[in-house]
């Protein structure tokens, strides 16, 4: 059975984030749920067309929190310091629900930030590092010896 993680990334980097998400899924076998492309709200077509988002903050946050709650944890792609949503999701997932958060921090100030160090189960500087780790650790099948 595939492990299911919520995939968080910055709205303005959603196209590059989607490419990285699909690569991670392809190379690791993990199932990543991307809030822009998967599930209940598919607002990305409007975003790409320059049309304002029509769903409310309550709807956005509520949907994202349900997806995080129903996942095994988060894979977070941090590409710039202007990513409030992902940071909030990381904190809630790790602190409130005790679920693992795997942070791919593509800039040093995020990778070295004390809050990221505290909340991340593991930090990575590149997608390649995360893929290598997850191929070895996240998809391991536990074998029980009787």
Q: Which domains does the chain possess? A: 6-136 (3.40.50.450)
The pLDDT value given to residue 145: 47
The Cα diameter of the chain in Å comes to: 59
Residue 121 — φ and ψ, nearest 5°?
-70, -30
pTM of the model: 0.89
Cα(132)–Cα(141) distance, integer angstroms: 16
The answer to whether 116 and 103 are in contact (CB under 8 A) is yes
Q: What is the pLDDT of residues 101-115, one digit of tens each?
A: 999 999 989 999 999
The pLDDT value given to residue 60: 87
The answer to whether 72 and 134 are in contact (CB under 8 A) is no
Cα(54)–Cα(104) distance, integer angstroms: 30
Q: Is the pLDDT of residue 2 over 90?
A: no
Q: Tokens 């629900």 map to which residue?
A: 97
Q: Write down the number of H helices and E strands in the chain.
A: 7, 5
Q: What is the pLDDT of residues 15-26, one digit of tens each?
A: 899 999 999 999
């Amino acid at each position: 059975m595939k492990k299911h993680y919520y995939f968080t990334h910055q709205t303005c980097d959603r196209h590059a984030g989607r490419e990285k998400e699909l690569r991670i899924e392809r190379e690791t076998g993990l199932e990543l749920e991307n809030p822009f492309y998967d599930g209940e709200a598919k607002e990305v077509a409007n975003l790409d067309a320059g049309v304002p988002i029509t769903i409310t903050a309550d709807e956005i946050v509520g949907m994202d929190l349900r997806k995080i709650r129903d996942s095994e944890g988060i894979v977070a792609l941090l590409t710039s310091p202007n990513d409030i949503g992902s940071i909030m999701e990381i904190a809630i997932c790790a602190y409130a629900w005790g679920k693992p958060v795997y942070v791919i921090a593509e800039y040093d100030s995020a990778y070295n930030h004390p809050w990221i160090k505290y909340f991340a189960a593991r930090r990575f500087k590149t997608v390649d590092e995360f893929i290598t780790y997850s191929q070895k650790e996240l998809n391991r099948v536990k074998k029980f010896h009787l």
